[in-house]
Amino acid sequence: MFDWDDLRFFLELQRSGRLLTAAKRLNTTHSTVARHIERIEGHLGAALFVQQAQGYELTPAGQALLKHAETMENAALLAQEEVSQSIMPLGKIRLGAAEGIGVCFLTPRMPLLFARYPGLQVEMVAVPRFVSILNREAEISIHLERPNADVLITRKLSDYRLGLYASPGYLATAPKLTHRDQLGQHRWIGYVDDLLFSQELLLLNAFCRAPDVVYRSTSVFAQQLAAHAGLGIAVLPQYMAANDPLLRRVLPEESIQRTYWISTRKELHKSVRLRVVWDFLMELCQSESEILLAL
């Protein structure tokens, strides 16, 4: 019978899709990963993976094993947590978030969390893409769209509002801008459409039917800096841009509202360290909703 150590390699290859990537994450060699997979397959008498051009994919036998392997992993994680909590409260938690809220809103407020829980450590994964709870990239993740996976607990974190911003230098030389109909005469800054990780980032057309987009970036911070440089008008979260001294609000009556969602795996929701961070984030966004909504 295979043991838990073999299943760790199975789960990592399933999540990464490639032997070299799985080996790097496990701090071993690709041949070691392959050997553990072969050992499980030998015990079961069935192939678990098929190699495709895009990486390793599960066979039906692999799919059948996956749910049991994840159940064992979750039990091991919870057992480890209970033991560690009895020795030293709290510990490390990884939080995944979209760039804007992760860097500009949450990070400056982290001292409030650490003041309550001095034994806590937070790893902030703030990137311009989804951070996967299912693939263990984070234990808590904040999304722009509501995840639908049955294994997740998801709650609405907060609404937030975005507005139009440009630099004084751009506005001084650009065409007159006093009402919405004139937006089509201006240059715009936006996302790279074919690299969008969420349809919630299709923002420009909410303001202008055919925007002249002169600069695109996958990063909202690059867009803010492009607005600083006078490249055009950017659609930015108002909690990021409202107090930016290098930008001016354009057409203040024009804005759009979006929602942040928070999620974690159901079995991890019982974790003490996760719950203190989860509750802190929910409380924080509720108490500072006026900043997120720019009221």
Could you report the per-residue pLDDT of 148-161, keeping only the tens digit for each?
Answer: 777 788 999 999 99
Residues 252-264 have a mean pLDDT of 93
> Helix, strand or coil for residue 47?
coil
Tokens of 173: 């030389």
Evaluate whether 222 touches 190 at the Cβ level (below 8 Å).
no
Residues 6 or more apart from 68 whose CB is under 8 A from it? none
List pLDDT tens digits, range 8-58: 888 889 888 899 998 898 889 989 999 999 989 888 888 999 988 888 999
pTM for the structure as a whole: 0.68
Q: Are strands 140-143 and 92-98 parallel, antiparallel or unpaired?
A: parallel
Contact 209, 184 (CB under 8 A): yes
Question: Domain 89-159+260-292 adopts which CATH fold?
Answer: D-Maltodextrin-Binding Protein; domain 2 (3.40.190)
Q: Which CATH number fits domain 161-256: 3.40.50.720, 3.40.190.290, 3.10.20.30, 3.40.640.10?
A: 3.40.190.290
Torsion angles phi and psi, residue 269, rounded to 5: -65, -15
- Which CATH code of 3.30.565.10, 1.10.10.10, 3.30.1370.100, 3.10.450.50 fits the domain covering 4-86? 1.10.10.10
The one-character DSSP state at 106 is: I
Domain ranges of the chain: 4-86, 89-159+260-292, 161-256
Q: Which residues of 47-62 are buried (b: 16+ CB within 10 A; e: fewer)?
A: ebbeeeeeebebeebb
Asked if 89-159+260-292 and 161-256 have one fold, the answer is yes
Residues 223-250 have pLDDT tens digits of 999 999 999 999 999 999 999 999 999 9
Query: What pLDDT is recorded for position 87?
Result: 46
